[in-house]
Chain A
Amino acid sequence: MFAEARILEVDLSALTCTERRLPAETYRLYPGGSALALYLMFQHTPAGADPLGPENALVFAASPLASLPVAGQSRMTVAARSPLTGAVGDSQSGGFFPAALRANGWDALVFKGQAPHPVYLYLREDAYELRPARHIWGKVTGDAEALLRQELGTDALEIAQIGPAGEQQVRYAAVITMCNRANGRSGMGAVMGSKLLKAVVVPKKARGLKPADQKEFMTLNTRVAEKVAASPFMEGLHKYGTAGELTDHAEVGFLPTRNLSTGVFAEAEAIGGKTMAATILKERDTCHGCAVHCKRVVEVAGELDPLYGGPEYETCATFGSYCGVGDLTAVSKANMLCNMYGMDTISCGATIAFAMECVEQGILSAADTDGLDLRFGNAEAMLAMVEKIARRQGLGRLLGEGSALAARAIGPAAAPLVMAVKGLEVPAHMPQYKASLSVIYAANPFGADHQSSEHDTSLSMPADHWLRQRLDLLGPFPTQMPGDLDADKVRFAFSTQCFYSLLDTVGLCQFVWGPTWQLYGPEDLIRLLRAGIGWETTLGELLKIGERRLNLMRAFNAREGFTRAEDKLPACFFQGLPEGPAAGARVDPDAFARAMELYYHYAGWDPVSGNPRPGKLAELNLGWLAAGQAG
């Protein structure tokens, strides 16, 4: 049985809070996380809203499973119209905040308007209040968190907050929890800053949700540590974190390097997960209820504070190879600064790499860079620029706009150096190798993203491997090489995108739950939903939910004037890589053009506009969008 959703609407302009209930039949269509957030955005954000204006509603939406005693459930979406892209903004994170939010009985929070002065929301199970936050405005996350604990007289709190970068409305500012987990992508921290909302605070709870069917739930949850140890993929995440695969990317010549101008980085080993484990790793941290422990905590006395965690693969790449920096301590410092100031490490590192290439090509001079020698490999200049961006000082003011807007200000020579789609900087997986990502990067409604579909190498594993047998539940698909981009590969991309879209809706970690290599597969997910929250469902209904969320996002963009014209890749992906084992590798432009046509066909979208047609919306119970209604 599916319950109704409990939502708090916060009018920051009026400093009032109102509790709402979403009927169970509606919640089942948008069951948490990203889909629920998008549904609520359509209720509250008018077309054409300024992303940094009071009309742009900011939504937090938890997993309906959050706080259950099982791995991968403590997830939360933060969504709003993105100030970085103008398109839909959408970001996920884990940690302990989502479990605490749900354990206190809340499914979603909607923030509207703009507060007259800085505030924070103190939210409990049966009470909520907006409190003044002038005393923590301007503080880095660690200091603000300490002050809030002191003020409220307890350490038993989970805190989601912005840092100074969000206050300064850096367009890729993040929402940070635990001082080291980020709803990073698409600038949700800037939206929060524009509302003068510094933090959301919830008390920890000793007990979370009780499984609907305890007996069946336990069958999913028994001997998890053994399962983690037995899976080569979980074992790798546990030992080396997400950065464990960095050297594997380098080995095949596809580690994005020097603003993605090459896939070869001679110092890859120095910035990878194995080196981290052997040198500066202090601890393997985790999210609520998870036995994988993929999170890193690093420490160097006087340089790296373990409060701010440690770098993920993406961070090691964007501040490492993207910037030509082979110093793991410097990369970790950049990660620490981003967590202190509250910024997305992907967009921040990639934007600095963009500026470095502008300097290398003589497009920016030393006068433009505040005297910094902002060249590839200069770790000190990179770190100085992170602080300048967070505080919007000097060139940091411009780079805080993101690489696409910065390039417009710098001039036409800078445009080809922007590695972004729809203004969102591309993550560290090269579509010249993983060909399906060329389509996903281009078509994804919130910009280039690496966590929106399964990657190509799953299809290159033997057809009798257990992960392929899982994947067959969505297929079947023929075995393919990573660089292949035919109709079957596009079908794989779209089908797994729908599955990942579902995961971001029911709010599950994509390392623990997924269609192929993860700890749990699609059949386990159906069991989890039944045993966890009593939801009797099918894979068909779940994939439809994933597809519904994709269409919601695409429809949001269409309302803001987006078409397939924005579904385009940086030109450099179509040019051959210059060196290394993958020399000459590129995205074939003809294959890409055919693949995009196929993608729109599989999605059922208009091939001219690239947007959902009324018939598709109606099929997905989204007819109210075509009618221009509010749901």
Chain B
Amino acid sequence: MRVSVNNREQDVPEGLTVRALMELLGVDPRRTSVALNGRVLLIAEYDTTRVSPGDAVRTIRMLAGG
């Protein structure tokens, strides 16, 4: 299925959980959040929320000062 990841269209497997999507994208859930259709998800939702066709996914990496 086709979803938008960080404003780029991308094909991902059907029925993917958010946690599986993060693994697929290679992002570290300890320091990166996921906004699904504009809402930042709780960590508690990563295993129970599935990505649907046409969803807009944004990953936000923790970037501090320094």
Contacts and interface: CB of A to CB of B under 8 A. Distances in A.
Question: Do A and B belong to a common assembly?
Answer: yes
B66 A312 contact: yes
Interface string B5-33: 01100000000000000000000101101
B41 interface: yes
Interface of A is mostly: loop
Contacts of A454: 64
B64 A455 contact: yes
A465 interface: yes
A457 B66 contact: no
B40 A313 contact: no
Contact of A460 (B40, B43, B64, B65): B40
Nearest to A313: B66
Contacts of B6: 581
Interface string A451-487: 1001101101111110100000000000101100000
Contacts of A479: 40
Contacts of B44: 464
B61 A457 contact: yes
A232 B65 contact: no
Interface in B19-66: 28, 30-31, 33, 35, 40-44, 60-66
A88 B30 CA distance: 39
B28 to A, nearest CB: 6
B61 to A, nearest CB: 5
A249 B30 contact: no
B28 A461 contact: no
A429 B64 CA distance: 9
A462 B42 contact: yes
Contacts, number: 72
Contacts of A520: none
A467 to B, nearest CB: 8
A517 B64 contact: yes
A615 B23 CA distance: 54
Contacts of B65: 429, 450-451, 455, 510
Contacts of A541: none
A581 B60 CA distance: 13
A233 interface: yes
A242 to B, nearest CB: 4
B43 A464 contact: yes
B28 A460 contact: no
Interface of B: 6-7, 28, 30-31, 33, 35, 40-44, 60-66
Given A450-B65, A461-B33, 14 more contacts: A232-B31, A233-B62, A248-B63, A252-B61, A434-B63, A451-B66, A460-B60, A462-B41, A462-B42, A463-B40, A464-B44, A479-B40, A511-B66, A517-B64
Interface of A: 232-233, 236-237, 242, 245, 248-249, 251-252, 312-314, 429, 434, 450-451, 454-455, 457-458, 460-465, 467, 479, 481-482, 510-511, 517, 581
